[in-house]
Amino acid sequence: MVILGAGPAGLVLGNLLHRGGIDCVVLERAGRAHVQTRARAGFLAANTVRILDRHGLSEGLHRRGLEHSTCEFRTEDGRFRLDYSKLGRGERHTVYPQQELVTDLLTHFLDAGGRIRFETEALDVLGAQCARPAVTVRDADGRPGQWRARYVAGCDGRLGAARRSLPPGAVRHRRRDHGVSWLGLLAEAPPSLDAVGYAVHGRGFAGHMARTAEVTRYYLQWERDSPADTWSEDRIWDELELRMRAEDHGPLHRGPILQRSVVDLQSDVLEPLRHGSLFLAGDAASLISPSAAKGANLAVLEAEILAQALIDDLAHGDPEGLARYSARCLPYIWGAQDFSQWMIRLLHGPSGTDGESLFQNSVRRARIEALRTSRSQQDWFAENYVGV
């Protein structure tokens, strides 16, 4: 078994297969230090924690992760909070930076004797319709190589070799560009509120999400194609305070900006999540905009489903789970895509003053008002917000 990519999907899959007695190798393009320091997700759903618990992979997140259960909306109509641990299914998030989760998964895998090749870039998956497909690779010194296996798991993200290797027409590609971009920021500053902050403002969306006691993630709705380094740190903080209405609700804790990147809010789904012996999981299977913090959670869920199906096939000769892998995952993926798109519409409106823009913004306000006042809306929100 060859696994492409050592992100959450590839490493959960690797751990479960190795423990299930399946011979596997993980091929990772980047070096170990890069993989262990790449800051991305932070909000883990309750179901993700249950999966990691089930397989003994959750010790670090229970020790160092923070429980989180409140979000705060700030709009032209004031602010309100939702404690989603008291709504819907009564579940909470665990805030645990993705690079720490990846470090834990990697440590477990290597300690258990798992095989991983860093700085080994998969170039192509050849013969996915054959009994033993081949993965062509290039190592850090540019030397070519090849790995053969009964199955290949493409867990190498949206721009990886698994997607690139799919012949035209092998899968259907459903995609949406939400037409919105965010400047994602990591600041060396403690969180400014004890909640996820969602600010809707005439100048655009701003978001606040805790990561650790010292580091906070912020988002600013950003002009498409505008480089991430256009603004000075002071200008970024001034704009965050303006959109988050610091004048009414208190200033933000400022600090050096450690990282900034532009994220275009885009989503896509490949159907089915399989082409012959090549299976897709995580961002390689479906890219989801970070508006609802679902990507890493879906990656872990799909990896667990795929691992069980592969063990059933390879260890017990039962191919049923593999045949149903795609159909089992797709309802979760589409549910998350639906909620993520709903969040985008909740948090962004057109900036124009024409009739269409005014109409859309009034609908957005009505939606936020329903969320503020209706218990059934709040239950629905909570169930989808923490669920996968």
- Residue placing its CB nearer to ligand RFL in the complex, 267 or 297: 297
294 is an active site residue:
yes
- Residue placing its CB nearer to ligand RFL in the complex, 185 or 309: 185
Contact yes or no for 172/132 (Cβ under 8 A): no
Contact yes or no for 251/241 (Cβ under 8 A): yes
Minimum CB distance to ligand RFL, residue 268 (Å): 12
Q: Which residues bind ligand RFL (CB under 6 A)?
A: 4-10, 27-30, 35, 40-43, 98, 121-122, 155-157, 160-161, 184, 263, 282-283, 290, 293-297, 299
> Catalytic residue among 84, 96, 219, 385, which?
385
Q: Which helix (H) or strand (E) holds 340?
A: helix 320-347
> Catalytic residue among 18, 93, 208, 294, which?
294
198 is an active site residue:
yes
290 is an active site residue:
yes
Minimum CB distance to ligand RFL, residue 316 (Å): 26
- Residue placing its CB nearer to ligand RFL in the complex, 50 or 316: 50
> Catalytic residue among 8, 97, 191, 290, which?
290
Sheet holding 121-126, edge to edge: 121-126, 134-138, 144-148
- Residue placing its CB nearer to ligand RFL in the complex, 100 or 361: 100
d(CA 378, CA 266): 26
- Residue placing its CB nearer to ligand RFL in the complex, 49 or 322: 49
> Catalytic residue among 68, 108, 208, 348, which?
68
Minimum CB distance to ligand RFL, residue 352 (Å): 27
Q: Which helix (H) or strand (E) holds 101?
A: helix 98-111
319 is an active site residue:
no
Which token pair is 257?
């900006």
- Which runs of E-coded beta strand occur in the chain? 2-4, 25-27, 43-44, 66-68, 70-75, 78-83, 93-95, 115-117, 121-126, 134-138, 144-148, 152-154, 172-187, 196-199, 206-210, 216-222, 257-271, 274-275, 278-280, 286-287
Rounded-to-10 torsion of CA 98, 102, 105, 107: -130
> Catalytic residue among 84, 96, 151, 198, which?
198
Rounded-to-10 torsion of CA 145, 147, 152, 158: -10
Find the angle CA(240)-CA(379)-CA(50) to the nearest 5 degrees.
85
Minimum CB distance to ligand RFL, residue 183 (Å): 10
Minimum CB distance to ligand RFL, residue 169 (Å): 22
C-beta neighbour count of 367 within 10 angstroms: 14
Minimum CB distance to ligand RFL, residue 375 (Å): 26
- Residue placing its CB nearer to ligand RFL in the complex, 303 or 322: 303
- Residue placing its CB nearer to ligand RFL in the complex, 88 or 282: 282
Minimum CB distance to ligand RFL, residue 136 (Å): 10
62 is an active site residue:
no
Beta-ladder partners of 78: 75
Which token pair is 16?
């479960």
Phi-psi region of 233 (alpha: psi -120 to 50; beta: other; left: phi over 0): alpha
Catalytic residues: 68, 198, 290, 294, 385
